[in-house]
Each structure stands twice: as C-alpha cells, then as structure tokens.
Amino acid sequence: MLRTANMRSALYMSFAMFGFTFNDAFMKNLSEDMGMGQAIFLRGIFASSLIILIAYKKGALRPLRTALQPMPFLRTAGEAMATVFFLSALTQIPLANASAIIQALPLLVTVGAAVFLKEAVGWRRWTAILIGFLGVLLVIRPGAAGYTPYSLLVVAAVLCAATRDLATRALHKDTPSLFLSVLTALAVTATGLVMWVLDGSVAAVGTVQIIKIVAASLFILVGYQFIVLAVREGEIAFVVPFRYTALLWSILLGVVIFSDYPDPLTIAGSTIIVLTGIYTLYREHRSMTNI
C-alpha cells in the first residue's frame, strides 16, 4: 500500500514540477512584452480567481484575519517574496541557471531546521550541505566572466522559500492547504501590483499576451495542487527527490524556447546540487526511521 502511495506521490511531484517550470517559462517570455510587475499582477488576477473559486467549492476558505497569525503570515510573506525574487531574476538569467540554484532549497531547509527548530543534523548531512552549496557557487560563479548579480536574486528566493517551508512545518495541521494557496495567490498579486506601480510602465495587452497570462495561471495552479497531493500521501524522503525533474524541464525549455544552452560548469554545479540534495533527504529519512 505504501509503495503504491509513494509511486503515486512521485508522479504528483513530477506533475507539480512540470506545472511550475512551464509557468516560469511563460512568465520569462511575458517579461519580453511587459514589466514583470505587470505580468505578475495580471497572472495573479486570473490565478487568484480560480484558486478562490476552488477553495470555496471545497469549503477551504477561512477568515482573512487568519493570515495575520504569525506562522501563516510568515509563510505567505516567504512565498510571495520568493516568487518576486525568482521571477525578477528570470528576466536576466537563463531558466536552467535559475532552476539549478533554486534546487538548493532542501539543503537550506535542513540547515534552517537544525538552527531554528533544533532538529538533529549529523556530520554526513552537514558535509553534503557544504558540497551542495559549492555546486551553487559553480552555477553562480561570482567574480568570473559571465557572472551576473541577478543570480543573487535567486539565492534570495531560496532563503525566502526556506522560510516558507519552515513556517509550514510549524503550522497547525488543520489549516487547509487550499486556503494557504489562496493567501499566497493574493499576496503575490498584491506584490506584483506594487512592483508595477513602482515601475511606472504600462504595456499593451493583446490576444497573444492574454494567452500567455492564462497559460501561466493554469500551469501555476497545476503546480500548487499537485505539490499538495504529492506531500500528503507518500513518504517525503521518497517523493521530494522528484522535485529535481524541474531541472530537466528547465534545461529543455531553455533550449527550445530561449536558445539558452547550459555550459559545462552549470551542468556540473546542477549535478552536485541534485546529488547532495538527494543524499541529504536520504540521511534525513534514515535518521527518522532510526528513532
């Protein structure tokens, strides 16, 4: 039974990464037509409407004052800022590079759990974490030719996403996941509006742009819903490594849509990040089963 649940959850996680990565590709493409603030806001209007409708039908809505409680607020803020930082970076760097850096998230969550939640982390996992961050440096390559400070926006996105995940661990289990998605969608939309106002530019929105916005909204909804399904059925240690399928999608879409071919150092760094992330999750699973 558990084996079946694990395989189903692995499939769900793969679908989630498919949705998130295609959303990123459409948003990066939209940034060629308009400012990212405008793109985030317009996508948010459509995505928020759909998520609120689904949550209403499922009876998952809660009073908005719930969002002001410490952990829901911290989670929502982390998710919103991670989205803004990541999508802003995508306007300047290849999709595969951004996706590779964001894959360091499980490593940073492990660090955060050790520091803030006092979870035990042995020397093997600390070693894997350090090696994984060396992989991040290979992708970013500070000081080298071709380095761009926009990569640091993705690092900031990882920090914000780690804050989101740590806050999620501390949330009451009765809080519906759909309600959290509603809060996230509304916060990201509001942040996009602020970015748009500060940017001051207004781009024309034609049929092509509307299609891209709708497509991005649908793909982000696929990501939101399938990742919830993925983490609720199977074992986390088995399921989470399938998040790295996002890297494969990002390389493929980067080549096909944007003609961005990852260089050898980016591929090497990405491989290190993925392998150390999988090993860290494996050691976490071992430590939990030995309790």
Which pLDDT band holds residue 81 (cuts at 50, 70, 90)? very high
pTM: 0.83
Q: Is the pLDDT of residue 291 over 60?
A: no
Which pLDDT band holds residue 196 (cuts at 50, 70, 90)? very high
Query: Whole-angstrom Cα distance, residue 19 to residue 46?
Result: 16
Q: Which of 160-169, 185-194, 202-211, 263-272 has the lowest mean pLDDT?
A: 160-169
Query: Whole-angstrom Cα distance, residue 18 to residue 138?
Result: 25
pLDDT, tens only, 60-72:
888 878 878 888 8
Q: Which domain holds residue 172?
A: 2-289
Domain total of the chain: 1
pLDDT, tens only, 224-255:
778 777 766 666 667 777 888 898 899 999 99
- Residues 17-28 have a mean pLDDT of 94
pLDDT value at position 232?
Answer: 65
pLDDT value at position 231?
Answer: 67
